[in-house]
Structure 1
């Protein structure tokens, strides 16, 4: 083992050994556990894992362990919507109200399904109160979707965008439920995970609980006071609806993380952040989006080209957040994140989704690369640039696939 590197299990095929070394170096200072998997043209070429001193609360950790994916879950939800679109059951340019009539209330009659996927709907929090909603309320699907349907948007839908950290999953998930008659978690299990043999769930079955590796925070999460101070620094009045939504969203994220530490939270379907799985399955999912994997391809090339095309680059953030826009502002396709300096993914043309703390799923169609990274130590903060654990192995993956080094 190289000095300054973590102990790593698993395998890397010939030509991909550099990824193993880079992963070991990236995990050297990580107290938690992590997995890295890479597919190349549908073939699993890298399947690695590492467990630090505070990895799993005494549970054994290996390639079959599963963990919370946080917002990497959003890519799973997006796949469901695109699958229905490709089958002709869902028109992404149609008003949401075509499928979910109650959603037309409060000025949302023109909101499209694409607006939901691209974070343009103006509904970034579940509650209009700064405290947000608590753990039990978050897990009440019907109550949350009723509230979203009744809520007026913060801006004219489609005219601006802001990350819908938790509401994204209920918005997209309720459309899937209205179209299919079943929950998005069940639809995903039947139409996606079942076809590919994936260990990915929105709602962890009881029979899989023994495989669950809990997450933990490396640093103190933002307190309500810190969030309120940051919002006040934007010059917004305390009772401004955007200020209220920003505070509520932060509170709701804390409640969601608390919920995922419970059996009830893991069993509940929470498609924006509560997906559970491992790196091997996350990588296999993305591989099947860009090409066949054991004879199964989930979505066509034209569907994926539409999904990864920029759908927010031309839009502002809602004022006054638009004043903060810089080179690292978030970029979205339809349900997927696109490369930016703080989250470069696999370079131009790639797409995927990161999750709070450092999870990452992504693909690059032109090179045939698909990657899954799952970790238990929540140490990445998007505002600080790329997760240091990603940097070395991302470069090694690009090199092994013959892509030029990024400048």
Structure 2
């Protein structure tokens, strides 16, 4: 083993490639994944204009056999510090004590209403039918959507969402998270990366989806676009496909303040994560956006970077300088990743990661590919709704 500073064309090509790939990776992390952090900083510095008024709001809560969740979490929604709002719980044919729980709560809270779709109602997507029933029952123009297993993190949840409905804004994309203590490291990493992609792309002016557990839009926009009629042949799409159809850079905002966020509680987070993964991988085939190409390039360059780093390390058999360069390149990218990811994860309520990050980064694409294949070849296309 020796040190030779005279490089062959192959060595120059590998060194150039790993440098270019590293710079591309750093660009993605700064230009995309760091955007939510910058957006929050802009908000803290008073650079984002909000609505001064507090218009009336209708909160639609989807429930299916969620009596326990409604008992624990619905009062948090009903006791929001907001002057004029109603809460409409849409009971999707529940067979548990949901109806009784809601009837009891109606005596205490005059702004709570319940409606339902019967269990025998025929619809390919009962979630879309339930939300449509809720939209028709809503008295107010601004509608805020969530589920019975969702917990607002503040009594100012409604206010923090609605303040974004300034002139021209019709849609507000807010964040939902699973409490980090309830989920494994890979699930947490996957959820954060998923959120970073759609949130950062929306902040770039290209919104392509939302999350139905914390989403708001104008009732008139819903009916103007004939609701979910374009995707009635699909079980899913009440949040991602519908928002993909109606969202633009001019009519959409993102809200990431701690007060605006919602935690989602599942009986089994891993099963819920798998179900959601399959659902979104299935509907991804119908989303109209170049986000897959944009973030696909990021993934391709990431794996090419790893290959070049390994190639440089192997060249250490005859020149020790190459593994040193490989380590430095890997370390620079790793530090950037960890710094930006952990800052974003803090805002989005995910787990901080350190030594496991490179492994999870390598696993990310194969896992997504596996779930996309499973979703594509599923015969029934009807995974359990979570």
TM-score by length of 1: 0.23
Please state which structure has a larger fraction of its residues in helix.
2
Structure showing greater radius of gyration is: 2
Normalised by the length of structure 2, the TM-score is 0.24
